[in-house]
Chains A and B, each alone.
Chain A
Amino acid sequence: MLLLLFRLSFLSFFPSLSLSQHFAPTGTKPHQRISVSLNFKQRKQREEKRRMMMKLDTSGLESFSAAVPSAMAAAEDQLFAPPSFDLPAGCADFDKFQMEAKQTLKHAKGTTTLAFIFNQGVIVAADSRASMGGYISSQSVKKIIEINPYMLGTMAGGAADCQFWHRNLGIKCRLHELANKRRISVTGASKLLANILYSYRGMGLSIGTMIAGWDEKGPGLYYVDSEGGRLKGNRFSVGSGSPYAYGVLDNGYRPDMTVDEAHELARRAIYHATFRDGASGGVVSVYHVGPNGWKKLSGDDVSELHYKYYPVQPTPVEHEMVDAPPA
């Protein structure tokens, strides 16, 4: 713990990495730091960085009710002003407290989702289990979120985070359609989401999502996460069960599959992940995104799939653990 504290204050020397700068409230006593002398230029850069970092993209949190313009401006000022609050009682080291608070909220991304592009479009599949540590809180969570009739998003990480920001993305996409009289591209939609998530970077959002859709350029697939990453690709799998899903998916993938073959591949990949991974299970949902939008292909209970793929034999001997023979 001591080592961690030292590293934190060490990091505050470098302008880009300071957590404490992000959250230093105004009007309170600054916490202890090892002092160092910076030259004038470095100090100026730190000030600017601090001012830039304070401006969050809070457009996602605005309500869209029609308000009197002057009131809106006043409200906006309040939104953009840096937050000012008293430190919690008995909290000598605010940085450490922040880190611990974020750790408790950090949900391991216990899930399996996958998506891949092939000649006939995009297949998106996911399991349906929500777990809190070892406890299964639900076996019937909808992890494929329908952003609009031709775009899908997958959920991995914090359920509330994913649901809220996907719905927010849907709103933004619709506004784009109304403003520009044409549908937004998958590239644009994923960029919108990625930029919003980047501005909340370090604040504890947990989202590992894939945006899949069909636009004018054909099928599109992007991976976007709460660390601010955004990747374009042909095959992705996200979540704690993703290594198992990748094994099956990478083995069976061919770009010239039929829709049925792709459907079965996705279903099998998720099934294998639910078998091996404790945090994935429930129901496999498979969607297909074609030129006319998405369509749900199937929702199969994973347990029934198991007994369908591996019917019960009279005397199975899978692996036998035998003790060493007595001397």
Chain B
Amino acid sequence: MSIFEYNGSALVAMVGKNCFAIASDRRLGVQLQTVATDFQRVFKIHDRLYIGLSGLATDAQTMYQKLVFRHKLYQLREERDMKPQTFASLVSALLYEKRFGPFFCQPVIAGLGDNDEPFICTMDCLGAKELAKDFVVSGTASESLYGACESMYKPDMEPEELFETISQALLSSVDRDCLSGWGGYVLLVYAALLTPTEVQEKILKGRMD
């Protein structure tokens, strides 16, 4: 098994109408053995920007700590939060710094940019950005996720429908992967007209095998 399949992971992010959702599985394993069923893979950078990190769990945690550090410095200097596009470039640069000894993680970035425009992108472990308008996937279950998202996705979905779609896509894909699953975690962010952005976090009841 390759190093990317050591811990096992599944991540997906989808774009809806003025909203986005990012979802992950909750398993942490050591090859075939399951060690934890509440592992956090999606992290908050600021209120309107989230990053999910798949691949080797230790690299995911370290990457997250480095990114939080860099973002806090940015906040101190610029006195504002980073835009998602800028943050994506930052992640890409940090990953390419380690070109000949990389971090074994694949990030999925999701955020709300200017004018509440949702932004999602994914990268490989060396920082090659892939921007998408509909959905991005990452992890050991990525092939199943591509298929599920491709068939279930519709453009301009309302938040409730987007939540349903992303949950179903995630659960059906991890049911075809030995190394991910054991529950799901979905985070839905939408820019409402009057109130500031609303965030919904839900834990999915999935197959525990």
Binding site for B on A (CB under 8 A): 110, 127, 129, 131, 133-136, 139, 240, 274-282, 302-303, 306-307, 312, 318-319, 321
Contact = CB atoms under 8 A, between A and B. Distances in A.
Contacts of A135: 176-178
Contact of B32 (A136, A240, A312, A321): A240
In this complex, the member of A136, A277, A280, A321 whose beta carbon has the largest number of chain B beta carbons within 10 angstroms is A136
A20 to B, nearest CB: 30
Contact of B208 (A131, A302, A319): A302
Contacts of B198: none
A159 to B, nearest CB: 16
B22 to A, nearest CB: 20
Majority SS at the chain A contact face: loop
A155 B36 CA distance: 29
B209 A131 contact: no
Given A127-B209, A278-B34, 5 more contacts: A136-B176, A278-B32, A281-B178, A321-B36, A321-B40
The secondary structure that dominates the B interface is: loop
Interface residues of B, number: 24
A174 to B, nearest CB: 36
Contacts of B36: 318-319, 321
B32 A110 contact: yes
22 contacts: A110-B32, A110-B178, A127-B209, A129-B178, A134-B8, A135-B177, A135-B178, A139-B175, A274-B209, A275-B34, A276-B33, A277-B32, A278-B33, A278-B179, A281-B207, A302-B208, A303-B206, A303-B209, A306-B208, A307-B205, A307-B208, A321-B39
The 3 A-B pairs with the shortest beta carbon distances in the complex, nearest first, are A281-B209, A278-B178, A274-B209
Contacts of A279: 32, 178
B127 to A, nearest CB: 25
B1 interface: yes
Nearest to B178: A278
Given A275-B208, A278-B179, A307-B205, A134 B34 contact: no
Interface of B: 1, 5, 8, 29, 31-34, 36-40, 140, 175-179, 205-209
Contacts of B34: 275-278
Nearest to B143: A135
A315 to B, nearest CB: 11
B1 A134 contact: yes
A134 B209 contact: no
Which of A240, A276, A278, A318 counts the most chain B CB atoms within 10 A? Answer: A278
Contacts of B1: 133-134
B208 A134 contact: no
A321 B26 CA distance: 13
A129 B176 contact: no
Nearest to A307: B205
Given A275-B209, A280-B209, A302-B208, A134 B38 contact: no
Contacts of B179: 134, 278
B175 A136 contact: yes
Nearest to A138: B176
B58 to A, nearest CB: 12
B205 A319 contact: no
Given A136-B178, A319-B36, A278 B29 contact: yes
Contacts of A136: 175-178
B205 A312 contact: yes
Nearest to B208: A306
Nearest to A273: B209
Contacts of A277: 32-34
Nearest to B4: A134
B205 A131 contact: no
Contacts of B176: 135-136
A303 B208 contact: yes
A127 B208 CA distance: 13
A131 B38 CA distance: 24
Nearest to A132: B178
B38 A318 contact: yes
B193 to A, nearest CB: 32
B146 to A, nearest CB: 14
